[in-house]
Amino acid sequence: MKNVTNHQPVRHINNPPKTVGTKNFSVEHILTLTNLTKKFGAITAVNNLSFTIEKGNVYGILGPNGSGKSTTLGIVLNVVNKTSGNFDWFDGNTSTHNALKKVGAIIEHPNFYPYMTATQNLKLVCKIKEVSEEKISEKLQLVGLLDRKDSKFSTFSLGMKQRLAIASALLNDPEILILDEPTNGLDPQGIHQIREIIKTIASQGTTILLASHLLDEVEKVCTHVVILRKGVSLYSGSVDAMNASHGFLTMHSNNMEMLQSALEGNPAFGKIKREGEFLIVYLNEPLDASEVNKLLFEKGITLSHLVKRKESLEEQFLELTKQK
């Protein structure tokens, strides 16, 4: 609520659930997607997608290239027409274009008027979003472009363009910041700068929706993920819950057949697969490596290799998005 005083002169900033008094007091829904579908001719880019974005969380939309991430964002950002289904901004209390004034969004390419300077471009955005121009310097400072504020956009490097886009998205102190592949095409330094900025913004409590195919990017900042493949949602929920599997064991013994049959008889172990000379076993319940060792030793099996690991987000992602 720290920003309320700054916003007072601007009429469109309010907190609908509190002032209007809708049914939900505990959670503010920023965006709700219900059975959203988009078809491009015969291709279904987004298929019956539903998820909800709640205030204060950091969401990641993960998916391989062409999985419908950008299309989904395009639909909620009013630039792509949906085929069917619905989406509601802020519990459906405002029209989409008015809701977007409370949103900050960056899509793949930074799009500005090349013949205008950074400041002139941002002033235009202020006019569109109907916010005052006083924050321009502050936001340029945040992304480190204040000393280039009077340079034409066409003279900027890609990294600078992307940072200007972030500054532009933050001008209205948005309720939610939407980032679509923000580090695409940047050099390592640029990627680092953008990530630092995102972390700073996330730490201030701004809701963020980050679409990416870079998993470490999502893993580092997101609390929730939606995983897409071919326009279908494969998983939607918190990152922690996704990691809720109990991990897996990599083992090796002199007698692999005996080991495998011993494991197969035990309900604590799930899927078992051979990988080279090792046996990979997924756990169905929390089980310590030492307990497993003890259990097997009692059955007369000695292990020469035993490692317990949890899957990284990357492994889970690859597992989930594998072609079936």
7 in contact with another protein (CB under 8 A): no
Which of residues 15, 35, 86, 95 is near another protein by CB under 8 A?
A: 95
Give the nearer residue to another protein in terms of CB position, either 120 or 184: 120
- Helices 118-129 and 158-170 cross at an angle (nearest 10°) of 30
Name which of residues 33 to 62 contact another protein (CB under 8 A).
40
Smallest separation (angstroms) from another protein to the CB of 57 = 21
Q: Which helix (H) or strand (E) holds 221?
A: helix 215-221
N-term to C-term CA, the chain: 47
Report how far residue 53's alpha carbon sits from residue 224's, in angstroms, rounded to the nearest whole number. Answer: 9
Tell me which amino acid residue 21 is.
G
Q: Which residues pair with 280 in a beta bridge?
A: 250, 273
- Segment contacting another protein by CB under 8 A, of 91-99, 181-189, 250-258, 294-302: 91-99
Render 20-51 in DSSP notation, one character per residue.
Answer: II-S-SS--EEEEEEEEEEEETTEEEEEEEEE
113 in contact with another protein (CB under 8 A): yes
Which phi and psi (to 5°) does residue 98 adopt?
Answer: -75, -35
Name which of residues 130 to 149 contact another protein (CB under 8 A).
130
Contact pattern for another protein over residues 156 through 175, marking x by CB under 8 A: ------------x-------
84 in contact with another protein (CB under 8 A): no
- Segment contacting another protein by CB under 8 A, of 100-108, 210-218, 233-241, 291-299: 100-108
- Segment contacting another protein by CB under 8 A, of 104-112, 209-217, 283-291, 292-300: 104-112
